[in-house]
Structure 1
């Protein structure tokens, strides 16, 4: 997706989006090294900033304010973003082992995955406690607990195990948030009880006495109990057993005790310390494997023992980035010596904080403002990135006129996927003079608007043929392979057929053999996974070198003679159903510019890798009479094809069209697919164009989709049951979005209703109008069966 003229020479893989690694990405984004490619592998694409996490729990900060978005950051650093979980290393083969994808090769590896609470040996902790670390999954765990508290109408006993700064700050934040949420829900917050459990005799044992005293006072003032001097020995569903105190009744238990390393590190062969953390020297290199670096909580620096806190993880980012650059350049690495003392600012759940530095304690609202300013300034480095520089373009020829200059300038930001297709108007004009050889066994060919060609081989079933090919739309070749295969299969399913075989057409960028081989293997592994799930055999193909990673498939399928679904099967009174949300075109365009949030992109990928196979079967089972897959020419473009082929009209209920998260924000920012202007030409088919064009959702109609859902007509009386079955089958946003109408006297075939969303009877049939046929003939064919 990120085309480069410099071949990849070295791969640096970053495991974990911790505070050190986000700093590395930003620094290399500001000053990239030609020939060096970064890959970030992370479980959570929005990484929480530990300094603002308590404020978010307290309700002071929202989600995006307290999280670093790795999608724009990765784009800025020209890094590949892999959304996966690492479960091991193959040090001999220099590969990272992931839970749900093929191994990822590396030349240099860096690990920054944080830590987990050391509660593995405590009976019941894994089943009944909520660990704060790793913090990348804590928000989901907290929200689940919050939901349970509200479901109990605020009658709950909340406990935190751990009397350090993290435990005290978390409990005060929980107190503020849950008390307010329970009251806002109409329940009595006096039913909430809060308890802090610490094995130390007093709170905050490593902090100055004045700070310990003040926090003890704050806990008393807020009615929070403290159980000190005994270790938590067991966690039960309704209590925590504390040595010397017996059971402490608790409904929700949050665990913040001393950090422990990820369990999979013990099986890697890396040198570890007695607690299981990665032993590194002062250059942050593994003492056993110098091509492996580690930073943050997961690292144990020889000769130093900094606390396992975000402060030190942040500070190790610049020296880690510097040493990665030095090892690539063959220079001597620099030593990193963590400072002994740090400024600690601890919040109280309110806009009020206490601070400590070199034994001195201070407090007040001003301290919270200081912390807030420091935290926001840090986050702005990652969430307010400089504008991405455009790649150098070839000079515009002097003979180019104004129109040509404008068109050439737009080429620089061409989209991938179906957004890279040739526009419908261009395609129609180009094929207008093509006359294929006449054959009696071609049932559906180039002259038909259907999704695939159909050939009669004389057997009991008809043969269905289609082809799709486009350049990469995501930087992960494995995910791209899955999307490309799923997209190619969509035409087969839209025709009511089952896939049989596939031939691959692949283009890989120029590069050294090992890198080309790795990318091709990852891409084809993803594609083959989708094909195998579809019971479609990959039987061959063709590869070539080119400027960008691209992939396509020629797919053959089979369909019973009387079961093929054609676009022309629309019947007046039928309901129009779409199985997936729209928005991939604009979202991927925004991602290419570094303007899309990671969760938006990942949701789009989730839908693009969702097969249409089950949806096609459900639609057929509910009497579908016509079907198409919504792809490059958008929802309106494909609906135009259907009404033209069927000789009918249609009413589209715009507010009912399901949308991907982030689409409205993306369009409001003025970001659209490069194919959108071509698709907008189809607006001539809209009867109430002036009213429709003024609606905020109007651009949705023209957004090109990659691996989009099916658009089908189903008898109205069966439509609700069909949607229910689709949602139960995994198509959670499937919706009825309109109704097929009899042919009218109007030249425009489609009415876009902006408010009405209920089904209504179809109007009386009207006589065919010749001029209307001529107008529809001029509309471009928005899908070609074999091009």
Structure 2
């Protein structure tokens, strides 16, 4: 989120299709100063269509045929929003999303591919597996293959509806993979292909149609041509002719269409709902909207919905997006009329066709296709490394109490003023001091929008808050309750301000939960990247929306805060909570014979250090983000209900650093079971590559308190004991007899990684 140039324009890319992937890579190689790029996509990776049949046939792993959009966004310095676009507000220039606030744009580009055509055939929606979206198809397919491997007990019958190129290639690929599995168990495979036309692949030349018809027959596929499916029942396909065929799985590969929200937004579309674009890949109705790939129809050069055109459109799309943002004249693009198609036959061979020409099938053509596809994917797997500058046998672990004179860090308590900045923002040089605040007009606009669009928390004990801003918030403290204060603030570790707001709020509230308290109110402190007022307002709105979402879940209002401008996004909260003094959970409460339960897996420090170096897989970061978005509120309540006597949250000092604080305060020792410690996916791989957080070396100093250091320091979990955590889990000590019930309850509450990781011992 660093901003060496003030943000002046927002480019939003909807969808992670081939054209956008290429454009993002080119933006990474040729950044446009002052332009903030945001990619909105439903998943952190995107399939490459050229390799999908090979994946279904078992020739490629999932990773080999998917582009990692997290790494690509990191390379291009783009914000990555994992969400589904469901609408466009073209008047206010906003993208409407399913699970987050609207996203503002100056220029928007759409590359979401096609979606399944509306299935009107009775039963098809319930009992058939559509080919689009591809992610769902692959999820069904992978699960089906795994079930066949685990239970190969009877013959399998597969039905494929649709005899176009996609249906034929899918049929041959899944047949090849399933036969290789069933052959080992001497089981039969029966495949039926249903097609309403007289020939398969009717959009291709006669030579291709004849050869694929012959291949399907030779491979034993039962062709049902000129058969229109009229109904799909559970494990049965019914045709208009009266034909009924039993099928264990039914794949639906018929004509696709565009999502209805595109036309509903007011964009000019063709009869099938695809966006109509001119020779610049620009909407013919809205010049600030661009589109490419299957979702677009070039009105002067209509072409089939084929991946080759999406790939070829990547560079001209990038050039015209840059030109549009710079208000330069656009460059026309004319796609080729004829193109080479290499179509796999599922058995390590391929057919080549161009125009009326055809050749194959042959293994040489498959190797050629494989070389082309792998070369394309290498463009995204071997991205240039981003320079970061200065940012840079025995499973038991015995820990003794530190020396009493060892200093122990604690959370800083502080307070802040309400939002009421009066200093206007300078138009040229950036001031320090109070001159670096965000302007009052921007704040007023953002807070008004927040109060209108976000959930509000009304508490009687908030006497003065954002509803009536003053010099400070005023909070009433009920009699017989103690107030708990905490503050945290840090730079963004993820390039999505809405998610970062949620993660930061969870992190900051964890100290309240760890003390056994209930949060009452929060003050925010935010540093926003230099930008035009409208861009600052958009970032602040996304950030606060995320934080307020988490605060609302625990009935905690945001009552004020402070803002400033800086080179990069940073955020934090000062939180207060209430607790009866007799119910406080403290670090000093550990007792011998108790067990230790950790609620979340370790590894966020090393994983995000790896992400900065382009070394982390997108799915690793997905899992880490999911963990950081999990609140510790329910876990704290669970620990209290199961008689926990001590608790802390695992954050910057790592598991061992925070545990040492508990050991020192309780005057005990602890035995940890290394193999029981939960670890996030990918964390072992990154630490084994020597990738650790910049705070790791400082945290490593507490290793001197490990009694059997030489026996455990080579354990592959060992580096993660010192890994600083963001929005980490709670660590609690409780009686052994309560531990199993507590674990079971925690898992029901969603803490799937929680584990008993050790036992409290007498100090020796």
Alignment of 1:666-685 (within 5 A): 666-685=686-705
Alignment of 1:167-178 (within 5 A): 167-178=167-178
Question: CA offset at residue 497 of structure 1?
Answer: 1.0
Q: Distance in 2 between matches of 1:677 and 1:183?
A: 54
Give the 3 Å change call, closer, same or farther, for CA 504–739 of structure 1 in structure 2. Answer: same
- Correspondence for 1:87: 86
Secondary structure of the structure 2 residue equivalent to 1:466: strand
- Correspondence for 2:194: 197
TM-superposition CA deviations, 1:499-545 (whole Å, max 9, x none): 11111111112221000000001100000000000111111111122
Secondary structure of the structure 1 residue equivalent to 2:647: strand
Task: Select 2:248's aligned residue among 245, 251, 255.
Answer: 251
- Correspondence for 1:358: 355
Task: Select 2:304's aligned residue among 296, 303, 307.
Answer: 307
Q: Distance in 1 between matches of 2:93 and 2:478?
A: 53
Alignment of 1:713-732 (within 5 A): 713-732=733-752
Give the 3 Å change call, closer, same or farther, for CA 527–741 of structure 1 in structure 2. Answer: same
Question: CA offset at residue 586 of structure 1?
Answer: 0.7
Question: CA offset at residue 148 of structure 1?
Answer: 5.3
- Correspondence for 2:25: 26
Q: Does 1:740 align with 2:740?
A: no
- Correspondence for 2:375: 377
TM-score (norm 1): 0.85
Q: Distance in 1 between matches of 2:177 and 2:754?
A: 36
Q: Distance in 2 between matches of 1:458 and 1:531?
A: 20
In structure 1, the gaps of 5 or more residues are 392-411, 415-423, 437-454, 745-787
Alignment of 1:652-663 (within 5 A): 652-663=672-683
Alignment of 1:246-395 (within 5 A): 246-363=243-360, 364-390=362-388
Aligned length: 691
Contact 1:480 1:526 in 2 (8 A): yes
Question: CA offset at residue 246 of structure 1?
Answer: 2.5
Q: Distance in 2 between matches of 1:20 and 1:138?
A: 22
Question: CA offset at residue 135 of structure 1?
Answer: 1.9
TM-superposition CA deviations, 1:223-270 (whole Å, max 9, x none): 221111122222222222223253222221111112211122231111
Q: Distance in 1 between matches of 2:482 and 2:646?
A: 17
TM-superposition CA deviations, 1:167-193 (whole Å, max 9, x none): 111111111222334456xx5431x32
Task: Select 2:569's aligned residue among 515, 532, 549.
Answer: 549
Give the 3 Å change call, closer, same or farther, for CA 456–577 of structure 1 in structure 2. Answer: farther
Question: CA offset at residue 151 of structure 1?
Answer: 5.2
- Correspondence for 2:709: 689
Secondary structure of the structure 1 residue equivalent to 2:50: coil
Task: Select 1:584's aligned residue among 600, 604, 608.
Answer: 604
Question: CA offset at residue 431 of structure 1?
Answer: 8.2
Q: Distance in 1 between matches of 2:542 and 2:323?
A: 29
Q: Distance in 2 between matches of 1:597 and 1:484?
A: 22
Q: Distance in 1 between matches of 2:83 and 2:503?
A: 16
Q: State which drifts further: 711-720 or 476-485.
A: 711-720
Q: Distance in 2 between matches of 1:458 and 1:30?
A: 58
- Correspondence for 2:727: 707
Q: Distance in 2 between matches of 1:95 and 1:435?
A: 39
Give the 3 Å change call, closer, same or farther, for CA 678–563 of structure 1 in structure 2. Answer: same
Q: Compute the RMSD of aligned alpha carbons.
A: 2.3
Secondary structure of the structure 1 residue equivalent to 2:39: strand
Give the 3 Å change call, closer, same or farther, for CA 458–99 of structure 1 in structure 2. Answer: closer
TM-superposition CA deviations, 1:394-417 (whole Å, max 9, x none): xxxxxxxxxxxxxxxxxx215xxx
Alignment of 1:154-233 (within 5 A): 154-182=154-182, 187-190=185-188, 192-233=189-230
Task: Select 1:613's aligned residue among 627, 633, 658.
Answer: 633
Contact 1:11 1:106 in 2 (8 A): yes
Q: Does 1:10 align with 2:30?
A: no
Question: CA offset at residue 47 of structure 1?
Answer: 0.3
Secondary structure of the structure 2 residue equivalent to 1:189: coil
Q: Does 1:518 align with 2:518?
A: no
Q: Distance in 1 between matches of 2:343 and 2:645?
A: 64
Q: Distance in 1 between matches of 2:676 and 2:260?
A: 47
- Correspondence for 1:439: none
Q: State which drifts further: 62-71 or 130-139.
A: 130-139
Question: CA offset at residue 138 of structure 1?
Answer: 2.5
Secondary structure of the structure 1 residue equivalent to 2:582: coil
Question: CA offset at residue 464 of structure 1?
Answer: 1.1
Contact 1:116 1:131 in 2 (8 A): no
TM-score (norm 2): 0.87
Q: Distance in 1 between matches of 2:214 and 2:637?
A: 65
Contact 1:29 1:78 in 2 (8 A): yes
Question: CA offset at residue 560 of structure 1?
Answer: 2.0
Question: CA offset at residue 144 of structure 1?
Answer: 3.5
Question: CA offset at residue 428 of structure 1?
Answer: 8.2
- Correspondence for 1:413: 391
